[in-house]
Every structure is written in structure tokens, then in C-alpha cells.
Amino acid sequence: MSPEAREPYETLAGAYDGLTTDVDYAAVLQFFETVLQRAGHSPKTVLDLACGTGSMSVLLAERGYRVIGADISEEMLTAAAQKAAAMAENPPFFICQPMQRLTLPEPVEAIVCLLDSLNYLTEPEDCRKTFHRVWRALRPGGMFFFDINTPQKLRGLDGQVFLDENDESYCVWRAEFDEEENCCYYGIDLFRRRGALWARSFEQHCEYAYDPDTLEQWLREAGFARVECFGDRTLTPPGPDEQRMYFAAWKE
């Protein structure tokens, strides 16, 4: 019998870092700073939106930025706070907020939302609300920097099965794309070692296949005066078969 499905990242949070060692956070940070330097922007305050376990938040803080990390998952934020506790100086500050209801006490100079976190907004209206909230949370001249899994990638995942494992965890996830809902569903079975035994849990994740042209339109509707689109960690425009693309939206 399958275990009862948990909320996304409820149980995966504890195993997330160990199962995502292939994520090159340093390369993503370098690309973020390349886009900043290209525009002559030098922010001091950065919001890491949908920060997860805080890996990027910590890297940003180590680079000298004053960082706020926001996420909807209390479990992921617990892992992030534990990670940041090891920092001797300038640790990030974490808050529990959904993207579409983002509220900051004062605006920041840059906002990042990485690792296809925006795709997790499965209601398009929530994405539009998020863009408006982000615009209000930025200082004039600030940049909103995010990436998405492209529709091509999400459709290509249909029917795929993937395995991730380390000494403490074993993860099997199956992908199915629903054309009517325009969503890719991931069923994730996670087995974690508990002494001589393994404990099993199940989560279902879902990502919406956002059309890049539509996202650009919504960004401009939210007030962003300039929007740039890039291929995967490259300053060139995305190709027709791009799997991941980046956006830089500027508030003037």
C-alpha cells in the first residue's frame, strides 16, 4: 500500500541537499552577477524568493549581500536556518511567505527566484500576482532575476522515471505531463534510512508550463520597463529547444 501523499517538500526537505549535489549553485550565482555587471547594477540587498534549504541564500550572504530568504515550506526553512547558523557573519534572515502574497518591511535592490521555483505556481493568476508583489518589493532600478523550466522540457519529461540515491536516501520520481492542465506532475517516492530499516514517504509535485512570451507580457503589465530573456546561463537568447531559460526584469 502506498503511503499517504505529503505536501511538497514536507518530508523531502531533510533529504533535499543530499539528493541535489549536482546543482551548481556557484555557477548560477556567477551568471546572476554577470547579468548585474553587464547592466552596471551593484545591489547590496537581495531577496532569495522560494529559497528552499537556503543554499543560494548562504552563497549570496558569503558574497557580502544582505539577504532575506523567503519560502512557503516551514520544513525547508528549518533546514535553511540550520545551514545559516554556521555562518559567523552576515547570515541570511528567513521568512515564511508564499510568493503571491510577498510582503517586505522595506524594498530590496534585487530579487532572485531560482531552480524553476516559479513553475510551482500552478495557477497562472498566482504568477501574475507574484510579479506585481515583486515589483512593489523592489527599489527603483532593481532587478528581478528568475529561471523557468521551459514547456519543451516539461513536455519531454512525460513518462520518464528517475532515480537519485546516496547513503541515507533513495528517491524514485515519475513524471507525467497533463496537456489539458498544462502541468507536469512528479510522483516522488522517498526512502530514508532509519537504523537498519528504511522509512518510505510519498509526495506529489507539480510544475506549470509557462509560455515565455506570456511571462514577458505579465512582467510588463506589472510595471517592469525592461525585460531580457537568456538561454541557460548564457547571455545569448534562448534557442528553440531550450530546457531552461532566465529572465532579468528591471524596475525603472
Asked whether 186 and 173 are in contact (CB, 8 A), the reply is: yes
pLDDT at 8 over 60: no
Residue 66, H or E segment: strand 66-71
Q: Give the model's confidence band at 141: pLDDT under 50 very low, under 70 low, under 90 confident, else very high.
A: very high
Taking the whole predicted model, whether its pTM rises above 0.85 is answered as yes
Give the domain ranges of the chain.
21-149+211-250
Q: What does the pLDDT look like over 34-57, one tens digit per residue?
A: 999 999 999 999 999 999 999 999
Q: What does the pLDDT look like over 81-134, one tens digit per residue?
A: 999 999 989 999 999 999 999 999 999 999 999 999 999 999 999 999 999 999
pLDDT at 145 over 80: yes
At 10 the pLDDT is 56
How is the beta sheet containing 183-194 ordered, strand by strand? 5-6, 197-208, 183-194, 169-178, 161-165
Q: Which of 63, 104, 112, 120 is nearest to 87 (CA)?
A: 63
The helix/strand/coil state of 96 is strand
Q: What does the pLDDT look like over 195-208, one tens digit per residue?
A: 888 888 888 999 99
| Least confident range of 23-27, 142-146, 196-200, 226-230 | 196-200
Beta-bridge mates of residue 68: 47, 93
pLDDT at 7 over 80: no
Please state the CATH superfamily assignment of the domain spanning residues 21-149+211-250 in this structure: Vaccinia Virus protein VP39 (3.40.50.150)
